[in-house]
Amino acid sequence: MSLTDKLFILFGGICALLGIASAIGFALSRKVTSENGRATVDNLNARIKAWWVMVAIFALSFGLGRGVTVVLFALTSFYTLREFISLTPTRGADHLPLVAAFYVLLPLQYWLIWTDWYALFTILIPVYGFLLLPSLAALKGDAEQFLLRVSRIQWGLMLTVYCISHAPALLTLDIPGRPREGFLLLFFLITVAQFSDVMQYVFGKLFGRTKVAPVVSPSKTVEGLVGGGLTAVAAGAGLWWITPFTPLGAAAMALAIVAMGFLGGLSLSAVKRSMGVKDWGTTISGHGGVLDRMDSLSFAAPVFFHLTRYFYT
Amino acid sequence: MIDLVLIGLTRFIVGGQAQWIGASPETRQRIYFANHASHLDTLLIWSALPRPLRGTTHPIAAADYWGRGKVRRHIALKVLNAVLVDRATQGPPGAALAPLRGVLAEGESLVLFPEGTRGTERLPGPFKSGLYWLSQEFPEVELIPTYLDNPSRAFPKGTFLPVPISCTVRFGAPLLRRPGEEKEAFLERARAAVGALASDPVL
């Protein structure tokens, strides 16, 4: 089976799943009567609609190749960093570090993926960004809350640019005997991470009782986490045939993605809570901001990248 | 064509979503008065207005910034429909308002920044008296308080390049005129109406 054949089957499968979800959403919208239930179902249907759009965007970029896919993730980093910085208080003296973050480090990080410069890709932001940003801030001579300010910008960059960029970096991995199959690894990562989020939401809504972290994220439940997580691990194992992993290996990889994704969602909920907001933005109808959809992926991508790189290349 | 590029760029870099809180986007004659924090402000309000309103609404822009350079001047006059005013005008009080009166006399709307200069604070500083005189001379024109959230962070005074930080444009309920109200009291009330649209700060 060629790569194109596999991608057709995979995106076909996703469309079938979404078709079922849309049908269920439609049936629910005709059945529901209570006001509370109406709000939940409306939000569910807005989410499903947004999923159609997101899947279409990814399918298109995969079809158009590596360059477009790298650009798509660069734009994702741009939007998530914009959302992060917009909610994070900054001062006038932070302007220069922000210019460097948005207009120099972000494009450079993705250019390094495009040219496959692995050594610099892994240290650009954690080492050189780490040294550059406080220097630029200090040159402005404003010491007010200095450590807090530079930490916030560095953290935002690590999360939204460095971590997320590890997803398209899968396209640079050279797996023996499997040329150009980075797309399938990327598909595996995104599908498992997002499917886990969706199934945790579904199991949580249906069976959720025990809250995992009531203070940080009131919507996360043990029932949702276990049910959704196990379903996503099973889905990951079922996708073993598109990866270099064995079925058991694929299950283990999926488990790592699910675990990191859960921790990412939890950590970013804590960040949102500390800022007094519920969502990162309003860009994706029903979901909130782009970062609300990318939180789990940003924690899962670097771990999945390194596990794959260490064990399979 | 240029207008679509400008709106696209504005949306991409700073968003500029409109929130109609106390007024709806209608084609009636209005003075939108807003806090002033950056050179993006004119662009933000202009791009936040729906298309039919954009053509009949004229932002007041400082001639010493928007009138400088051929490209900027062209954008200000032909795309943003701006009225350029010279902030250094000498002469009898109220003389600088002449071009603004002209716009209102023709039945079109205005965007004013009554602080007169860009501030750095979240809440607007003291207002200059132009808004008061115009509100007296044109009593039928609706006065819409407008708050620009974040442009002072996206494009602070003294920098050359805006950074991507989402800004919002909030339009509040029309400020009603009170018969016999003193100038100072009116201006203070107008300033408070703009400040009331600001969101709570995050620490």
| A64 vs A219 pLDDT, higher one | A64
Residues near B141 by beta carbon (within 8 Å), at least 6 away in sequence:
B29, B30, B31, B104, B109, B134, B135
Average pLDDT over residues B169-184: 94
pLDDT in the model for residue B145: 97
What's the gap in Å between the CA of A78 and the closest CA on chain B?
Answer: 8
Is the per-residue pLDDT at B113 higher than 70?
yes
Taking an 8 Å cut-off on Cβ atoms, the answer to whether A92 and B156 are in contact is yes
Note the pLDDT tens digit of each residue in A229-252: 999 999 999 999 999 999 999 999
**How many angstroms separate the CA atoms of B72 and B75, rounded?**
5
Interface test with A, best of B118, B120, B122, B166 (most A CBs within 10 A): B166
Average pLDDT over residues B127-145: 94
pLDDT in the model for residue B158: 86
**How many angstroms separate the CA atoms of B197 and B171, rounded?**
8
Closest chain B CA to residue A87: B202
Note the pLDDT tens digit of each residue in A100-133: 999 999 999 999 999 999 999 999 999 999 999 9
Neighbouring CB atoms inside 10 A of A72's CB total 17
Closest CA to A204 of A191, A188, A217: A217
Taking an 8 Å cut-off on Cβ atoms, the answer to whether A78 and B165 are in contact is no
A284 pLDDT band (50/70/90 cuts)?
Answer: confident
Closest chain A CA to residue B152: A92
**How many angstroms separate the CA atoms of A91 and A140, rounded?**
11
pLDDT in the model for residue B135: 94
CATH class of B2-195: alpha beta
Is the per-residue pLDDT at A180 higher than 90?
no
Closest chain A CA to residue B156: A92
B201 pLDDT band (50/70/90 cuts)?
Answer: low
Note the pLDDT tens digit of each residue in B27-63: 899 999 999 989 899 999 999 999 999 989 999 988 8
Average pLDDT over residues A168-178: 91
Chain B residues near residue A282 by CB distance under 8 angstroms: 17
Residues near B137 by beta carbon (within 8 Å), at least 6 away in sequence:
B101, B104
Which tokens is B84 given? 């350029």
Taking an 8 Å cut-off on Cβ atoms, the answer to whether B164 and A99 are in contact is no
Closest chain B CA to residue A96: B159
**How many angstroms separate the CA atoms of A219 and A204, rounded?**
8
State the first-to-last Cα distance of chain B, in angstroms, to the nearest integer. Answer: 41
Is the per-residue pLDDT at A38 higher than 60?
yes
pLDDT in the model for residue B104: 95
Chain A residues near residue B157 by CB distance under 8 angstroms: 92
A181 pLDDT band (50/70/90 cuts)?
Answer: confident
Closest CA to A97 of A164, A149, A165, A37: A149
Average pLDDT over residues A179-186: 90
Q: What is the ipTM of this complex?
A: 0.89
pLDDT in the model for residue B202: 59
Taking an 8 Å cut-off on Cβ atoms, the answer to whether A83 and B166 are in contact is yes
Average pLDDT over residues A265-272: 94
Which tokens is B163 given? 């950074």
Among B156, B157, B166, whose Cβ lies nearest the Cβ of A86? Answer: B166
Neighbouring CB atoms inside 10 A of A11's CB total 17
B90 pLDDT band (50/70/90 cuts)?
Answer: low
Is the per-residue pLDDT at B203 higher than 60?
no
Q: Would you kindly state where each structural domain of chain B is located, as residue ranges?
A: 2-195
Closest chain A CA to residue B150: A86
What's the gap in Å between the CA of A90 and the closest CA on chain B?
Answer: 7
What is the Cα Rg of chain A in Å?
A: 20
What's the gap in Å between the CA of B153 and the closest CA on chain A?
Answer: 7
Residue showing tokens 């029932």: A223
Is the per-residue pLDDT at A25 higher than 80?
yes
What's the gap in Å between the CA of A230 and the closest CA on chain B?
Answer: 38
Average pLDDT over residues B190-202: 87
Taking an 8 Å cut-off on Cβ atoms, the answer to whether A99 and B161 are in contact is yes
Taking an 8 Å cut-off on Cβ atoms, the answer to whether B202 and A87 are in contact is yes
What's the gap in Å between the CA of B197 and the closest CA on chain A?
Answer: 17
Q: Would you kindly state where each structural domain of chain A is located, as residue ranges?
A: 1-64, 67-165, 175-313
What's at A147, amino acid-wise? L
B175 pLDDT band (50/70/90 cuts)?
Answer: very high
**How many angstroms separate the CA atoms of A185 and A162, rounded?**
18
Closest chain A CA to residue B120: A92
Percent of chain A at pLDDT above 90? 78
Chain A residues near residue B153 by CB distance under 8 angstroms: 90
pLDDT in the model for residue B93: 63
Residues of B near A (CB-CB distance < 8 A)?
15, 17, 120, 150, 153, 156-159, 161, 163-166, 200-203
CB pairs A-B closer than 8 Å: 40
Taking an 8 Å cut-off on Cβ atoms, the answer to whether B166 and A99 are in contact is no
**∠ CA(B18), CA(B24), CA(B26), 5° rounding?**
105
Number of DSSP helices (H) and strands (E) in chain B, helices first: 9, 7
Taking an 8 Å cut-off on Cβ atoms, the answer to whether A82 and B159 are in contact is no
Chain B residues near residue A82 by CB distance under 8 angstroms: 15, 164-166
